[in-house]
Amino acid sequence: MRLPFELLLSLRYLKPKRTFVSVVTIISTIGVMLGVSVLIIVMSVMSGFDRDLHEKILGFNPHVKIYSRLGEIYDYHSLAEKIQTVEHVRAAAPFCLGQVWMETQPEYSSPLGMAPYLRGVDPRVEDKISILPSSIIEGEFDLSGRGLVIGSVMARNLRLRVGDAVALYSPSQLQRMRLSQEEGEPEAILADHYEIKGIYDVGFFEYNASFLITSLENFQELFNAGDTVQGMMVMLDEPQLSAEIALKLRSVLGEEYYATTWMEENAQIVNALAVEKSVMFYILFFIMIVAGFGIANSLITFVFQKTREIGILRALGATRSQILFIFLNQSLMVGIIGVFLGFGLGMAAISFRNEFLHFMNNITGFELFPAEVYFFSELPAMLIPSDIILICGTSLLICLLSGLLPAIYASRQHPVESLRHE
Amino acid type, 63: H
What is the reported pLDDT for 12?
66
Clarify whether residues 198 and 286 are in a common domain: no
Distance CA(62)–CA(233), nearest Å, equals 6
What is the reported pLDDT for 1?
46
Clarify whether residues 192 and 130 are in a common domain: yes
Distance CA(79)–CA(82), nearest Å, equals 5
Clarify whether residues 223 and 353 are in a common domain: no
Clarify whether residues 254 and 276 are in a common domain: no
Question: 285-342: per-residue pLDDT in tens?
Answer: 777 777 777 777 777 776 666 667 666 766 666 777 777 777 777 778 888 888 899 8
Task: Select from 208, 234, 265 the last residue of a domain.
Answer: 265
Closest CA to 141 of 123, 158, 128: 123
Amino acid type, 93: A
Within 10 angstroms of residue 110's Cβ, the number of other Cβ atoms is 7
Q: Residue 291, exposed/middle/buried by CB under 10 A (0-12, 13-18, 19+)?
A: buried
Clarify whether residues 50 and 103 are in a common domain: no
Clarify whether residues 293 and 315 are in a common domain: yes
C-alpha torsion 157→162→164→167, nearest 10: 70
What is the reported pLDDT for 310?
67
Clarify whether residues 123 and 107 are in a common domain: yes
Clarify whether residues 144 and 223 are in a common domain: yes
Within 10 angstroms of residue 271's Cβ, the number of other Cβ atoms is 11
Name 157's Cβ contacts closer than 8 Å, sequence gap at least 6: 112, 114, 209
Phi, psi dihedral angles at 270 (to 5 degrees): -70, -45
Task: Select from 265, 299, 331 the last residue of a domain.
Answer: 265
Task: Select from 265, 300, 317 the last residue of a domain.
Answer: 265
Domain span at residue 154? 62-265
Clarify whether residues 190 and 281 are in a common domain: no
Give the count of domains, the chain. 2
- The H or E element spanning position 33 is helix 20-60
Name 120's Cβ contacts closer than 8 Å, sequence gap at least 6: 95, 96, 97, 214, 215, 216, 217, 218, 219, 220, 229
Clarify whether residues 325 and 368 are in a common domain: yes
Clarify whether residues 215 and 194 are in a common domain: yes
Clarify whether residues 128 and 227 are in a common domain: yes
Distance CA(202)–CA(200), nearest Å, equals 6
Amino acid type, 109: S
Name 86's Cβ contacts closer than 8 Å, sequence gap at least 6: 245, 248, 249, 252
Successive 10-residue mean pLDDT values, the chain, 422 residues: 61 60 73 85 84 79 88 87 87 90 84 90 88 90 91 90 89 77 69 89 85 92 88 88 87 86 78 76 76 74 68 70 76 84 90 80 71 65 86 85 78 64 52
Of the CA atoms within 13 Å of residue 174, those in its CB half-sphere come to 10
